[in-house]
Structure 1
Amino acid sequence: MLKGQVAIITGASRGIGKAIAHKLAEKGAKLALVGSSEEIHKTGEELKKQGFVDVETFQVDVANEEQMNRMVSETIQKFGRIDLLVNNAGIGFFKPVEETTIDEWKRVFEVNVQGVFIGTKAVLPHMKKQKSGTIITISSDVGRYTIPNGAAYTATKYAVQGFSGSLAQEVREYGIRVGTINPGMVDTYFANSVQGAPEKQDWLKAEDIADAVVYMASAPKHMLIDEIVLHPLIQKYPIA
């Protein structure tokens, strides 16, 4: 189902984004990988060494419209089309509101919300022309309920949910599908934590989220999966 499709993945240097890149490559997709550091090129080289040759890498700030537009244009020049956008890039910090600086507030919105908007806006003309495409945003379970000391991060995820829901209604007439994947606790480097730490052994793995992306993107063309919510069995959470 995904063989030969062209996918853009943001935040693909490590963690969930890197797992998504590997999973989509295994399914035969051609990849444009986006990351904010030079580490993104290492991900690309790793995939090529494994025999996945249709991989391009871009060191890009997802909150920078000019850089993102250039990346999309170069992807079109290289592969001729865009079938899938995975908005995965995200940052987070967790502290009380009164300790949150305006710069921290602005940056988390720039990456988590503005980045989703810019990337989505950039691919839409191409998907509309094709009359097909899938846009998946990796959000969070805190886009469905709230937590203390996470006001900025939680607010971005509520914003992403609203954006995706509205967008889905706008673009369905063009055959474009829009959905979100909302994980609970995932064992990654998120918020400067250590991946593989002993206390995370029963958390979701990055590969679990990658499997959800494949499931959503592989759905029959007549089917729209609005959202997927997944948690580790050990996680306790409010019922939304």
Structure 2
Amino acid sequence: MDLTGKVAILTGVSKGIGLATAEALLAQGAIVAGWGRTRPTDLQHERFHFFECDVRKQASVQAAFANTIQQLGAEVHVLVNNAGLGIAGPVDGFAADDWHTMFDTNVHGTFYCCQAVLPAMKRQQLGHIVNISSIAGTTGIEKMAGYCASKFAVRGFSQSLFKEVRTDGIKVTCLYPGSVQTNFFDDIPGTDANEHMMQPQDIADTIIYTLQTPFNFHIVDLEMRPLQPKK
């Protein structure tokens, strides 16, 4: 897809992978609707539009979508479901509220956003949804059971959705990044973000690559890992 002039909705836009992806989309000529609870303070661009949104709440997603199409038009070409979080802890001591927070953000938010954009994409017979899962969506990790469960859910949702909408000209890609140097690890005991990890720009560039594939095929699943991780 040529991204010039195309409308791209991007969740979790304020920092990390979301901010890098917004910048990458803008560099390709896209019109970016950044959804988040906090506006990125250092992103100023005539084609960037911020819409306040808490993806955990369906009403907030519906309001953000209504505001987006009112301001940018009825066509939506790209959705990048990037908003997500991880909370670590053993299962037998894990707070139910933390479990629900991860599922509300990582899983339910992805569902709400996909459901919002699909009618427009079906009318167009054109669209691309990119869901950000994780390596944790492919294998279990000690003391990360809740996060793994939520990212496994994103994986299953994405693989089911692509089969459901492919005949409508809609692509669905699920990314499984390994460790990325972001603030994700601030609250994960025993792991510190470091320069041996992938960079947010690496993930953003990969998203652009998947979006620019020719119309006749799409990348369904894509795993990414650091080449020389810290020992």
**Counterpart in 2 of 1:190?**
184
TM-score between the two structures when normalised by the length of structure 2: 0.93
AA matched with 2:7: V
For 1:198 and 1:69, the matched residues in 2 are separated by 36
Q: Once the 2 structures are TM-superposed, how far is the Cα of residue 54 of structure 1 from its aligned partner?
A: 1.7
Q: Once the 2 structures are TM-superposed, how far is the Cα of residue 75 of structure 1 from its aligned partner?
A: 1.4
Secondary structure in 2 matching 1:56: strand
Residues 89, 112 of structure 1: 8 Å contact kept: yes
**Counterpart in 2 of 1:32?**
33
Q: Does residue 42 of the first structure (1) align with residue 6 of the second (2)?
A: no
AA matched with 1:87: N
Residues 212, 228 of structure 1: 8 Å contact kept: no
Secondary structure in 1 matching 2:54: coil
Secondary structure in 1 matching 2:173: strand
AA matched with 1:88: N
Compared CA separation, residues 169 and 198, structure 1 to 2 (3 A): closer
For 1:158-237, list aligned pairs within 5 A: 158-192=152-186, 200-235=194-229
TM-score between the two structures when normalised by the length of structure 1: 0.90
Aligned residues: 226
| Structure 2 spans left out of the alignment, 5+ residues | none
Q: 1:93 aligns with which of 87, 91, 115?
A: 87
Residues 13, 40 of structure 2: 8 Å contact kept: no
Q: Once the 2 structures are TM-superposed, how far is the Cα of residue 129 of structure 1 from its aligned partner?
A: 0.8
For 1:3 and 1:78, the matched residues in 2 are separated by 18
CA RMSD after TM alignment = 1.7
Q: Once the 2 structures are TM-superposed, how far is the Cα of residue 47 of structure 1 from its aligned partner?
A: 2.7
Stretches (4+) displaced over 6 A: none
**Counterpart in 1 of 2:16?**
15
Q: Could you report, residue by residue, the CA deviation over 1:196-219 in whole angstroms, capped at 9, with x for unpaired residues? A: x98611110000000010001111
